[in-house]
Amino acid sequence: MKFSELSALRGVNIQQGKQSNKALLLKIIATQGPISRVKLSEITHLTKMTISNLVNEYINDGIIYEKGIEEASTGRKPLLLQVVPDSLLTLGVYISRDYIQAGIVDLKGASLRNERIHLSASETEESFIRKLFMLTDSVFNIDRKANIWGIGIASIGPLNISEGTILNPPNFHNIKDLDIVKPLSERYGLPAYLENDMNVSALAEMYFGSGQKVNNFIYVGITSGIGAGIVIDRKLYNGSRGFGGEIGHITVDINGKECGCGNRGCLETYADIPAVLQWVKEEYIKQNLDLPELSWLWLIDSAKTGNEICRKAIERQCRYLAAAIVTAANLIDPECIFIGGEIGLASDLTVPFINQYVNQYKFSPNTFQIPVYPSGLPGGATFVGTAALVLERNLGKEPQHD
């Protein structure tokens, strides 16, 4: 991959910018380490003295350490800096329609421990909170409490980020207006942050995946729903009300199926995993074939081994996805696009098709390419991204003074 210079990482050489500069350095070392002080100065345009002073504070706090030396052909070989992965830990929570996942994630995006608990069709707000606390209590390590500096919550939407509430996600067991941030923050005495699951996945891609050297990209996740996280100038784009990236509700057929959001012909109704499985089921019934036990893994395996219905199902899914992604690409003009979520299990079937379609039908196809890549974190972006969420929010809230 060839990406543009990370211009968004430029620091500020003024005394009042100390905390923002510290935050910037930790982000770069966490995502690009091991890295030298000289390289940090080149990236941020901060003076070598500023770099040394701020790095020494992190070293004294046990958050950064010096890891060997950089191989250089001539001159003094600079020491390399790396984060201490377990120096700052995140209590991560991922809320999907079907389950809650919780665990501990370190500064390098490694899951030290995680567990899941299933959500039933008859779930209530009270039973949901009970299950949530049962799970988080189980994974919360009291021995590591001093190292846990925040709680990251990734959830299906829509959400009210500022109020810390899950609003009214479609097909979410009639749970709505659920306050999720305050109960967790009060229970563990830690700052807690809520964000849309696809936005968290985009942060994970930027911090720990294939987006570490990309300024502008779109992450598209396809699971039991479809959403996108948009990164512009190395910053997450939320929109004015936190609903940015709802690519699953782009209309792909104005006379199409009714969607849970109230609109008709939304992308989700044709291209999320349940919609694809439903199409396969209908084709089997239409052709009077014995209906197998349907699952996404079965469908992928069957498509790869020559099942014509399954092959057509994935091609149909990709056409719908690509059509919506072309719209998003024409609006955002990203450097690249990452495809993740459950569809990542079939990336060898889906990504080449989507890449070809997007670059054939986007605006000005002969001028430039917008490469489409599989996520660098197949299957796990949303959960490990909770650590990136806490890193973003905790560092971002630091005061701008000494």
Examine the pLDDT at 8 and tell me if it is beyond 80. Answer: no
Burial track 211-230 (b if 16+ CB lie within 10 A, e otherwise):
bbebbbbbbbbbbbbbbbbb
What does the mean pLDDT of the chain come to?
89
Confidence grade of residue 19 (pLDDT, cut at 50, 70, 90): confident
Confidence grade of residue 400 (pLDDT, cut at 50, 70, 90): very low
Q: Which residue has the higher pLDDT, 233 or 261?
A: 233
Confidence grade of residue 396 (pLDDT, cut at 50, 70, 90): low
**Residue 402, pLDDT score:** 32
Per-residue pLDDT reduced to its tens digit, 183-227: 999 999 999 999 999 999 999 999 999 998 899 999 999 998 899
Structure token pair of residue 118: 């299933």
Residue range 371-389: average pLDDT? Answer: 91
Give residue for tokens 């995993």.
Answer: 273
- pTM (global) more than 0.75: yes
Which residues, 6 or more positions from 126, have their beta carbon under 8 angstroms from its beta carbon? none
Q: What single-letter DSSP state applies at residue 110?
A: -
**Residue 397, pLDDT score:** 56
Lowest mean pLDDT among 36-40, 112-116, 170-174: 170-174
Q: Which residue has the higher pLDDT, 140 or 322?
A: 322
In DSSP terms, 194 is beta-bridged to: 153
Q: How many CA atoms lie within 13 A of 119 on its CB side?
A: 23
What domains does the chain contain, in order, with CATH numbers?
7-83 (1.10.10.10), 87-202+382-396 (3.30.420.40), 212-376 (3.30.420.40)
Residue range 74-99: average pLDDT? Answer: 88
